[in-house]
Structure 1
Amino acid sequence: MTDQTSTGADLEELRARFRPLFERIAQGAAERDASRELPRELIRELADAGFGAVRVPRSHGGAGASLPQLIELLTDLAAADSNLPQALRGHFALVEDRLVAHAHADQSVWFERFVAGQLGGNAWTEIGAVEVGDVGTKVRESDGVLTVSGTKYYSTGSIFADWLDVFAQRESDGVRVIALVPADQPGVALLDDWDGFGQRTTGSGTTVLTDARVEASDVIDFSERFRYQTAFYQLVLLATLAGIAENAAAEFAAQAQRRTRVYSHGAGDVWNQDPLIHQVIGKATAQGFAARAVAVRAAQAAQDAYLAAFADDEAAERDANIRAELDSAQGQIVITAIAQEATSHVFDALGASAAGGGKQLDRFWRNARTVSSHNPVVFKERIVGDWAINGTEPPYVWAIGAQRATTAG
């Protein structure tokens, strides 16, 4: 490996660098959730502070952090406000793709953009009549100019982004591609129409592309996309869930410490001295600890897959990518259960007043439940089981859409 790769930084130094900003983010998280206020200024502050470039190699002005270190930082950010790491999920995936592409072609231009604070956003999913496996968004050429047209949903983070990471089809040859489209142009409309009951401020709205211009150099065959991409996307969600679990335990602990009302049939005369309340908070705290540990451990396999791209050993790279997918899937299975249980059972540490809307304590469960709905865990359980029993290689990419019509016969 050379200084062109990102093998690790001083994690505590990075944490100290971003901690003041994370603390400020945490202060308004509940209010933003209640009012659905998008954290535009905070995400811009993160980008300007270099957060979006922590994975960029030091030789190109970034921090050179490893993937486990990125997951640690994203968990810290999720504990402050779980919407922000998910809003940046598409950005960090774009960074990761360019990091792997750097093994075969210089990516200095993109690294300079990331270090300058430019952000990417996701624009992949289509809904409606689009059948599973199909893509309606097209890249067309006319008089030497390339344009992209189509409508994307669940475009998490795109409303904050400078670049859109768009999954499309090249009309001339039918090849599926990634088009890296500048967001600031007349052909791009970014709508804030996400109406989910959780993760309300991730900017996961609709993106409408109408003859949006794209450079030929920024249209990349999808087959060249970094192979552990699905594992990577899941890792960001694992960090998000771990941060939610940690934050829920900490917030309920603070509420329990201050509570003065007790029950006549409780196990203590003072609420914060009741051993049963200690037990509830203790379990939730341990669940947050375990969720972070699993997320960071799962990220190591993806880091190995990243480094394998530079090693010129196809068999080893394939094995590393299989492990990355399996480890992220196993992490998802465990952390999904941990986060949902922790954010539900922790209500046992307080009385009925915890359900008061003004406290916004329900946001932890709502957010955990919403994040857990991505990439349904039941399918991941099947994939891991098939691998454990039969050694079946997991799928790296999957699609979602309307079921294909079948012919009876």
Structure 2
Amino acid sequence: MGYAALAAKYRPVFARIAEGSLQRELDRVLPFEQIGWLKQSGFTGVRVPREFGGDGASLPELFRLLVELAAADPHVPQALRGHLAFVEDRLCAPASSEREEWLRRFASGELVGNAVTEIGSVALGDTTTRLTAAGDDFTITGRKYYSTGSIFAEWIDASALAPDGTEVAALVSTATDAVTVSDDWTGFGQRLTGSGTTVFDAAPVRAEHVHPFAERFSYQTSLYQLVLVAVQAGIARAAESDAVHQVATRARSFSHGNAAQTRHDPQVLEIVGRISADAFAAEAVVLRAAEELQLAYEARTPEERAASRREAEIASARAQAIVAELSLRAATSLFDALGASATSTGLALDRHWRNARTVGSHNPVAFKARIIGDHLVNDAEPPYEWAIGVPPAPDAQKSAR
């Protein structure tokens, strides 16, 4: 379709989403209606080939759209993160009637959430959520947290252990009383992503909706992470937009400033320019990393897939390492341009910093530069699957050795 046509199709929807984003932030209103607009517009099938009703967008085109959407409301693309990954999984699956059915579902507006992480005293790398045989099918029982986007979705992509102990991904319909999704995320940023608790109480799962986790598409961790990086780039763009608007419309100026009007003060204009440069660089980094993901998608031989998977993971880590800094700097510099009045709760300009800081805390950026360096210096493989939990006791670690 090309990016110009994609942008023309979706920018009017993004503009509608942007109109109420500040008030939703102030009132803590989840974007059910706004995600509904995206479903109706076909955005849930933006990557789906055109023969199945989608837009056939490339990954660089998708991520360019995500940056624009995040600038309108950063909660929304993060809420779609699990869906985008599941679409990618079906795109990479062998041709079948089931694959075609799912691609058409996505193009018609069906949305998939996710439920992977477990909190509390769960052992590192363990999964307490279980599938139980129920005739030819299964039921799923367990409790998940950080189930971003699931509260908006028709389906939930959940990790679990099969009866034989295999780690699997199970697709669970939300159209049952056996699935409860709560908006109980308590973070100080990204509060409207629906990243709360999901409880499965013997919820039904069809056998054909269970797949070995090891068979998921190879570059999934890099895609999951790059969606968050795109959100940060969008936040930087939103900070730029607010800086421009607030400076251009500011009536008051300081006696010790450099101009009678703030909009003509060269120091203030320099700050706005640097915010813009940070936002520009952040988006450019995202799009460069998305090119590596596209190569991973196009890889066909086992050797090509292994090499492109590695490059996509490193590219995603590089992007996270630098865009986290750029987005936080843009969100902070905004206040240097405006002074104390910018701290008004009614403006909620602090949301840009809070949201950027929250997104940057996922899959901690602190580890990324080390992983990149280890790969470059020692040819070490980057980690392709992350887990969090309670590590074994020291005695148990010694026994394991």
Instruction: Tell me the TM-score range normalised by the shorter chain.
Output: over 0.9
| 1:244-263 matched pairs, under 5 angstroms | 244-263=235-254
Deviations 1:24-59 (A, max 9, x none): 111110111111101101101101110010100112
Deviations 1:363-386 (A, max 9, x none): 000100000000101111110010
SS at the partner of 1:141?
Answer: strand
Deviations 1:55-104 (A, max 9, x none): 00112111110001000001110000000000000110110111111368
Structure 2 length normalisation: TM-score? 0.97
Alignment of 1:51 onto 2:50: no
SS at the partner of 2:392?
Answer: coil
Alignment of 1:78 onto 2:78: no
Alignment of 1:347 onto 2:335: yes
Q: Which residue of 2 aligns with 1:283?
A: 274
Q: Which residue of 1 aligns with 2:325?
A: 337
Q: Which residue of 1 aligns with 2:290?
A: 299
Question: Structure 1 pair 359/292, CA: closer, same or farther in 2 (3 Å)?
Answer: same
Could you tell me how far apart the structure 2 residues matched to 1:23 and 1:248 are?
A: 16
Deviations 1:160-209 (A, max 9, x none): 001100011002x1000000011111210011111211111101010000
Residues matched between the structures, number? 397
| 1:123-162 matched pairs, under 5 angstroms | 123-162=115-154
Q: Which amino acid aligns with 1:307?
A: E
Q: Which residue of 2 aligns with 1:237?
A: 228
Q: Which residue of 1 aligns with 2:388?
A: 400
C-alpha deviation, 1:105, in angstroms: 7.8
Could you tell me how far apart the structure 2 residues matched to 1:143 and 1:83 are?
A: 40
- Is the CA contact (8 Å cut-off) linking 2:86 and 2:157 kept in structure 1? yes
| 1:109-120 matched pairs, under 5 angstroms | 109-120=101-112
1:36 pairs, out of 28, 36, 53, with 28
SS at the partner of 1:179?
Answer: strand
Q: Which residue of 1 aligns with 2:158?
A: 166
Over 2 Å off, 4+ runs: 102-106, 142-145
SS at the partner of 1:38?
Answer: coil
Q: Which residue of 2 aligns with 1:68?
A: 60
C-alpha deviation, 1:228, in angstroms: 0.6
C-alpha deviation, 1:235, in angstroms: 1.0
C-alpha deviation, 1:144, in angstroms: 3.0
2:306 pairs, out of 318, 322, 328, with 318
Question: Structure 1 pair 371/165, CA: closer, same or farther in 2 (3 Å)?
Answer: same
Q: Which residue of 2 aligns with 1:383?
A: 371
Q: Which residue of 2 aligns with 1:6?
A: none
SS at the partner of 1:107?
Answer: helix
SS at the partner of 1:296?
Answer: helix
Q: Which residues of structure 2 form unaligned runs of 5+? A: none
Q: Which amino acid aligns with 1:88?
A: L
Q: Which amino acid aligns with 1:303?
A: Q
Could you tell me how far apart the structure 1 residues matched to 2:315 and 2:96 are?
A: 26
Q: Which residue of 1 aligns with 2:345?
A: 357
SS at the partner of 1:74?
Answer: helix
SS at the partner of 2:171?
Answer: strand
C-alpha deviation, 1:145, in angstroms: 3.5
Q: Which amino acid aligns with 2:374?
A: D
Deviations 1:253-308 (A, max 9, x none): 10011111111111112110000011000000111011001001101111111111
SS at the partner of 2:346?
Answer: helix
Alignment of 1:21 onto 2:9: no
Q: Which amino acid aligns with 2:101?
A: V
Alignment of 1:94 onto 2:86: yes
Alignment of 1:271 onto 2:262: yes
SS at the partner of 1:369?
Answer: helix
Q: Which residue of 2 aligns with 1:190?
A: 181
Could you tell me how far apart the structure 1 residues matched to 2:135 and 2:17 are?
A: 47
SS at the partner of 2:327?
Answer: helix
Q: Which residues of structure 1 form unaligned runs of 5+? A: 1-8
C-alpha deviation, 1:129, in angstroms: 1.1
- Is the CA contact (8 Å cut-off) linking 2:17 and 2:34 kept in structure 1? yes
Q: Which amino acid aligns with 1:174?
A: G
SS at the partner of 1:285?
Answer: helix
Q: Which residue of 2 aligns with 1:181?
A: 172
C-alpha deviation, 1:152, in angstroms: 0.3
Q: Which amino acid aligns with 1:339?
A: S
